């Protein structure tokens, strides 16, 4: 079942439709409801390797639907400490629960001040409503 549209207030957002949940010096990353809806039913997640580094505003992996492929942009920089195996096994988890079970990777942040220019939920909602 596809999730209903939502943009939780406790997350920070990147304008390329990615979110981050910052937990101390770590962060969990994923794609927003808007991104999964635009792509349609996901069929594949190409993850980064654990231990590799991701850089803010750069692609760290890909998600695919049947007719589209989209790069996933990192909202923050860090080292990959965990990849969500559940999404690799069942990519539709992202469609069903984009902010919960459908998270993509967990990183250890390398630049703690970086979240300053990410959007809050309100600003991101505004951005999406203009698209």
Partner 1 sequence: MTYVSLTDADREEMLETIGVTSVDELFQDVPRGVRFDRALDLGNPLAEQEIVERLEALAARNTPAGEEISFLGAGVYDHYIPAIVDAILQRGEFLTAYTPYQPELSQGVLQALFEYQTVICELTGMDVSNASGYDGTTVAADACYIAKHATGRTKVVLAESLNPQVRQVVRTYAPGFGLEVVDVLHRDGITDPDELRAAAEGAACVIFQQPNFFGCLEQAPDLAAAANDAGALAVAHVDPISLGVLEAPGAYGCAIAIGEGQGAGNPLSFGGPHYGFLAAREEFTRRMPGRIVGETTDVAGERGYVLTLQTREQHIRREKATSNITTNQTLLALGGLINLCWLGPQGLRELGETCMALAEHAKDRLGVPLVFPGRTTFKEFAIRVGRPAQDVMREARKQGIHPGYPLGRDYEGLDDALLVALTERRTLGDIDALAEVLSA
Partner 2 sequence: MKLIFEKSRAGRRAARLPQPANLAPAPELPAGLRRADPPRLPELPENEIVRHFTELTTRNFGIDTGFYPLGSCTMKYNPRVNERVAALPGFRDLHPHQDEDASQGALELMHDLQEMLAEITALDAVSLQPAAGSQGELTGLMLMRAFFADRGEADWRRKVVVADTAHGTNPASVTMAGYELVKVETDPRGNIDLDDLRTKVDEETAGLMLTNPSTLGLFDEHIEEIARMFHEVGGLLYYDGANLNAVCGISRPGDMGFDIVHINLHKTFSQPHGGGGPGGGPIAVRRQLEPYLPVPAVARDGKRFRLDYDRPKSIGKVRAFTGPFGVFVRSYAFILAWGRELKTMSEDAVLNANYLLARLKGAYELPFDRLCMHEFVLSARGLKREHGITALDVAKRLMDYGFHPPTIYFPLIVPEALMIEPTETETKETLDAFADAMLAIAREAAEQPERLKEAPHGRPVQRLDEVKAARRAVVRYRFEEHPDLAAEPAAPAATEAPKGV
Which residues of the shown chain bind partner 2 in the complex (CB under 8 A)?
A: 1-2, 35, 38-41, 43-44, 64-68, 70, 91-92
Pick 59 or 110: Cβ nearer partner 2: 59
Nearest to residue 30, comparing CAs of 78, 84, 66?
84
Binding mask 10-49 for partner 1 (x = CB under 8 A): ----------------------------------x-x---
Q: Tell me the C-alpha distance between 45 and 84, whole Å.
A: 10
Binds 38, which of partner 2, partner 1, none (CB < 5 to 8 A, cut-off by type)? partner 2
Per-residue burial over 79-111, b = 16 or more CB atoms within 10 Å of its CB, e = otherwise: ebeebbeebeeebebbbebbbeebbbbbbebee
Pick 7 or 109: Cβ nearer partner 2: 7
| Residues lying near partner 1 in the complex (CB under 8 A) | 44, 46, 64-69
């Amino acid at each position: 079942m596809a999730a209903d549209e939502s943009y939780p207030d406790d997350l920070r957002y990147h304008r390329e439709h990615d979110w981050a949940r910052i937990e101390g010096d770590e962060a969990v990353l994923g794609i927003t409801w808007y991104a999964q809806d635009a792509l349609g039913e996901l069929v594949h997640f190409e993850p980064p390797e654990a231990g590799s580094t991701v850089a803010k505003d750069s692609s760290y992996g890909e998600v695919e639907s049947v007719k589209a492929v989209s790069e996933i942009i990192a909202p923050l920089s860090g080292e990959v400490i965990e990849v969500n195996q559940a999404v690799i096994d069942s990519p539709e988890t992202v469609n069903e629960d984009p902010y919960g079970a459908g998270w993509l990777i967990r990183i250890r942040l390398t630049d703690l001040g970086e979240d300053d220019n990410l959007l809050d939920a309100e600003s991101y909602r505004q951005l999406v409503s203009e698209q």
